[in-house]
Amino acid sequence: MRNKKTLLACLIAGALPLSAWSAGGHFPVDDAEITARGDIQIETWVTRLDGNNSEFGFLPAWTVPSIPMELTAGLYRVEEDGDSFFRFEPAAKWQFVPQAPGVVAGAMSVAAGIDDGDWNDLLVNFIGSYELANAPVTLHGNLGWIHDRSGDENLDRVFVGGAFDWRLTEQLNLIGQVYREGAEAEVESQLGLRFNFDHTVEHLDLALGRALSGDDKDWFFTVGLTLTF
């Protein structure tokens, strides 16, 4: 990994409308699902890279009653080697094919990234999900375009990712993801367990991630909680 901030930025990028979204705001690969109409969903999580590098995310989501469009407003606090900054991500996800067994569901999301008051990036992401008809497994694929204007010159990158969500029991899912942000970036991965509940607390996530390429293969650990009202 080129540096730890790159990893944290990639994790944040996952908060596109990665809300109700799929595996949880801390999982960069999104799915085609949206929050149920009429519900308000809040995802919050903490990711630790090491003692001096962490991210806290707070991501409320709401779906417009008249159209299948989910709106989110993510707020993040990132700490890197003693320094910290806040990031705000307004986003929208439009679901044009609902998810169902044996059907390729589809959605498109758009998110803007604002770091400490400055607009730094824009992401457009195309999302496909396929729920196997004869197995409790759903597959997800993402293809996105990132326009980054935070440096001296504007840069464009491609975000690609794949994931599976395997329902082991009614109360437990196994989630795995592999993703990459740009041709020169490291391939990164996450593997997590999701504990499902039937009340206001919708689920609890425990995830472990690591870069699959590069010389500095740092591990990172995430605890996430999703509430639905």
pLDDT, tens digit, 9 for 90 and up, residues 217-226? 688 999 999 9
Q: Are 195 and 204 in contact (CB under 8 A)?
A: yes
Q: What fold, for 4-228?
A: Porin (2.40.160)
Partners of 134 in beta bridges: none
What average pLDDT does this structure show over 146-165?
88
| Poorest-pLDDT segment among 19-28, 153-162, 170-179 | 19-28
Spatial distance between the Cα atoms of 211 and 41, rounded to a whole number of angstroms: 30
Spatial distance between the Cα atoms of 204 and 43, rounded to a whole number of angstroms: 10
What average pLDDT does this structure show over 166-177?
97
Is 129's pLDDT higher than 60? yes
Furthest-apart CA pair in the chain: how many Å? 51
| Poorest-pLDDT segment among 28-37, 49-58, 104-113 | 49-58
Please state, as a whole number, how many other Cβ atoms lie within 10 Å of the Cβ of residue 101: 12
What average pLDDT does this structure show over 9-19?
39
Is 4's pLDDT higher than 70? no
Q: Are 111 and 17 in contact (CB under 8 A)?
A: yes
pLDDT at residue 40, rounded to an integer: 93
Which pair of tokens denotes residue 141? 């694929």
| Poorest-pLDDT segment among 39-53, 136-150, 161-175 | 39-53
pLDDT at residue 213, rounded to an integer: 73
pLDDT at residue 17, rounded to an integer: 31
50-75: burial string, b at 16+ Cβ within 10 Å, e else: eeebbbebebbbbbeeeeebbbbebe
Spatial distance between the Cα atoms of 25 and 109, rounded to a whole number of angstroms: 14
Instruction: Name the pLDDT band for 152 (thresholds 50, 70, 90).
Output: low
pLDDT, tens digit, 9 for 90 and up, residues 192-215? 999 999 889 999 999 999 988 766
User: What's the whole-number average pLDDT of the chain?
Assistant: 86
pLDDT, tens digit, 9 for 90 and up, residues 47-104? 998 767 899 999 999 999 999 999 999 999 988 877 899 999 999 999 999 999 999 9
Share of the chain above pLDDT 90, in %: 67
Which pair of tokens denotes residue 171? 């109360």
Strands 53-63 and 40-50: antiparallel
